[in-house]
Structure 1
Amino acid sequence: MKHLKKAFALAALTMAMNASAQTELTVYTAVEAEDLKTYAKRFNEEHPDIRINWVRDSTGVITARLLAEKENPQADVVWGLAGTSLLLLKNEGMLQPYAPEGLDKLSPKFRDRDETPSWVGMDAWMAALCVNTIEAEKNNLPMPKSWQDLTKPVYQGHVVMPNPNSSGTGFLDVSAWLQLMGEDEGWTFMDGLHQNISRYTHSGSKPCKMAASGEAAIGVSFAFRGARLKEKGAPLELVFPEEGLGWEVEATAIVNGTDKLAAAQTLVDWSISRKAMEMYNEGYAIVGMPGVAQPVAHFPENAEALIIENDFSWAASNREAILTEWASRYDGKSEAK
């Protein structure tokens, strides 16, 4: 019995010593909540000495929080936030430039343009329409093929979309429409779309979830969420509008002022490793390291060919003006926060 007690005591002491030896990183993220355990687990398989404390919310909320904390940063790393948000933070002097190991293996689209980048990309998420085939048939709704189709009177009250002020998916859509159509025609398109919107959500995945459950016929969302719900048996058809798809780089950066720089650099190194890219490819068809991505179920085989030439610098520079204009026109249909 004494030997057993000693063994338990030794095990407890070892666990306590290991815990105390860990460096804890506060990591802000907009990555889908269901994937955070996987991200931390895969990272810890190689770096058990670093513990991740997640702070997770939608893109707009995390971006606003980081900006509010500018004078007193609470995060050490941002792992999984829109590239346009990180460009905004970079312009505020809030990111620590760092050239991670393996930078040369990234596609140029997936890194900050400075020689020593302030952020590096992980994967890309792309716009998609989630159409509930049962609800569409019940309401005699034709399958949309284009963004412009969504302005037709037949869809009135049947479309749900994310609010771009709180959702990165909402912002990538609005930004893409303005780039694709030009600013005047883009706002005219959104005026027409607004007539058919039943509500604007504060989550990019929620419109697709609503479509999957039959709460809405059409959700303007992103392909990752639609593919997962369809794989689970939801009666969804994923539509990739023919004019082209908005998209965003999901990216990683070190917050300027962290006192855990070495651990933060280790995490950023790992975030663009091949192992990490293979992990991202489990849900995303486009990842930052060329030659890694394998086809993902329910995504189009030519995913990269469907995305627009996205001017992230323009989107970041005009973000505040775009969001202010959008809110002044359409916020009346936003759901309560």
Structure 2
Amino acid sequence: MLRAAVFTVGAVALAALAAGPALAQKQTVVIYTAIENEQITDYMKAANKTLPNLDVRMKRLSTGDISAVFMAEKDNMQADVIWGVAATNMIVFKNAGLLEAYAPRGLERAQPLFRDKADPPSWVGIDIYMSAFCFNTEIAKKHALPAPASWADLSKPVYKGHVVMPNPASSGTGYLSVASILQRMGEPDGWKYLDALNQNIAEYTKSGSKPCKDAAAGERAIGVSFEYVALEMKKKGAPVEMVLPKEGSGYEMEANALTKKGAKNPAARQFLDWAISDEAMGLYAKYFAAVGVAGFPVPEGLPKDISKVVYPNDFDWSAKNRDRILAEWQKRYAK
């Protein structure tokens, strides 16, 4: 029995030694992201197959929250990679000295709009998302609500208590909508409009996707959200229509970056190389009308040329004025 026991222990030890090199090949990379959970699941199936040597540790929060966590950790940085966080926030991170410039493999394929202007860039964009209204036609019939066609419509008294919108402090979707309105109308008129819109708001949500999901569930008539969620809810059978406001949808760009901590981690660069590969771009293009590399088909139900439906976003202005705008928004509308 003793000899058998010794053999068993020895066999286990030998097995562990044999497995050691394989285990050692796994390189840990810590990724902070604001990408929607169902998209992460889809993307990571491919990433795990293509990058079997990586042990990916993912932290997912809404844009405002993940950005606040990352900024708070600046003196004890945990993230190696920022993946799919708003370009506006990336500019804030860059200006705070938290990012390491890096040109991922294949960068030359990226469209000029989808990258930091510096060479090498501090961030690279992967897709564009735009503000959209989710309009529940059944709730509308119940309350005799007309279908909104514009931002101006949403401020009409008929919609009082029927609109839900993301909080711009926690949601990238919320901030892109507010920033776009202020850029398009100018700040004096923009804040007057937001004052009027606020009279109709039933709730400001933490998440950018929740307003549309609430509308789809029949909890609200109108959810100000973004186009991916509107299409997904409609595909799932919810009685919602997607409305792109006729003045122009606000838009934002999901982007990637290497952090100062990640600069010391080869696995971080490896992931960022994959994250702009054709494989990754093909996955992003399942959900968004415009991705960082041209030539991918547009999902059914989305405009073929988004330049005709969006209002141009000055990302530098949005980043520079973000804290001031959020402070003013909180003072006026925080509930």
Structures share fold, TM-score greater than 0.5 = yes
Superposed counterparts of 1:184-333, under 5 Å: 184-258=188-262, 260-292=264-296, 294-332=297-335
Cα displacement (A) at 1:114 = 0.3
Report the equivalent of 2:158.
154
Cα deviations by residue, 1:60-118 (Å, 9 ceiling, x for unpaired): 00111111011110100011100010100000000000111111111111000101100
Equivalent residue number for residue 135 of structure 2: 131
In structure 1, how many angstroms separate the alpha carbons of the residues matched to 2:23 and 2:244?
47
Using the alignment, how far apart are the partners of 1:17 and 1:125 within structure 2?
42
Q: Name the residue aligned to 2:45.
A: 41
CA gap of 1:328–1:19, structure 2 versus 1, over 3 A, is same
Mapped partners of 2:17, 2:250: distance in 1: 52
Q: Residues 159 and 216 of structure 1 are in contact (CA less than 8 Å); yes or no, is this contact kept in structure 2?
A: yes
CA distance in 2, matches of 1:23, 1:40: 16
| Contact 2:114-2:125 within 8 A present in 1 as well | yes
Question: Which has the larger Rg?
Answer: 2
Distance between the aligned counterparts of 2:231 and 2:204, measured in 1? 21
Deviates more, 1:42-51 or 1:241-250: 42-51
Q: Secondary structure at the match of 1:27?
A: strand
Trace 1:50-89 onto structure 2 (pairs within 5 A). 50-89=54-93
In structure 2, the residue corresponding to 1:198 is in which secondary structure? strand
Unpaired runs of at least 5, structure 2: none
Letter matched to residue 43 of structure 1? A
Provide the secondary structure at the position in 1 that maps to 2:199: helix
CA contact (8 A) 1:227 1:297 kept: no
Q: Is the 8 A contact 1:25 1:260 kept in 2?
A: no
Measure how far apart 1:42 and its partner are.
Answer: 1.0
Which residue identity does 1:51 align to in structure 2? D
What TM-score, normalized by structure 2, do the two folds share? Answer: 0.93
Seen in structure 2, the aligned counterparts of structure 1 residues 210 and 14 have a Cα distance that, compared at 3 Å, is farther
Tell me by how many angstroms 1:11 deviates.
Answer: 8.1
What is the TM-score normalised by the length of structure 1?
Answer: 0.93
Does the residue aligned with 1:165 lie in a helix, a strand or coil? coil
Q: Quote the Cα distance in structure 2 between the aligned partners of 1:309 and 1:220.
A: 19
Give me the whole-angstrom Cα distance separating, in 1, the residues matched to 2:115 and 2:207: 26
Deviates more, 1:300-309 or 1:13-22: 13-22
2-structure distance, mates of 1:222, 1:304: 16
CA distance in structure 2 between the partners assigned to 1:260 and 1:44 by the alignment: 22
Matched residue type, 1:306: V
Q: Distance in 1 between matches of 2:289 and 2:223?
A: 20
Secondary structure of the residue that 1:227 maps to in structure 2?
helix
In 2: Cα distance, 1:172 partner to 1:14 partner: 52
SS of structure 2 residue aligned to 1:137 = helix
Sequence identity, in percent? 48
Instruction: Please tell me the residue identity of whatever aligns with 2:62.
Output: S
CA RMSD between the two structures: 1.9
Shift of 1:239: 0.2
- 1:240 CA displacement: 0.3
8 Å CA contact 1:40–1:52 kept in 2: the answer is no
Paired AA for residue 200 in structure 2: N
Tell me by how many angstroms 1:15 deviates.
6.1
Would you say the 8 A contact 1:162–1:204 is kept in 2? yes
Q: Residue 290 of structure 2 contacts residue 298 of structure 2 at CA under 8 Å; is this kept in 1?
A: no
Contact 1:25-1:52 at 8 Å conserved across structures = yes
Letter matched to residue 289 of structure 1: V
**Contact 1:163-1:201 within 8 A present in 2 as well:** yes
Structure 1: where are the runs of 5+ without partners?
Answer: 333-337
CA displacement, residues 279-328 of structure 1 (integer Å, 9 cap, x when unaligned) = 00111111011112x12132233333211211000000000000000000
2:78–2:261 contact (8 Å) kept in structure 1: no
How far did 1:37 drift? 2.5
Q: How many residues get paired? A: 327
Q: What secondary structure, in the 3-state scheme, does the structure 1 residue paired with 2:79 have?
A: coil
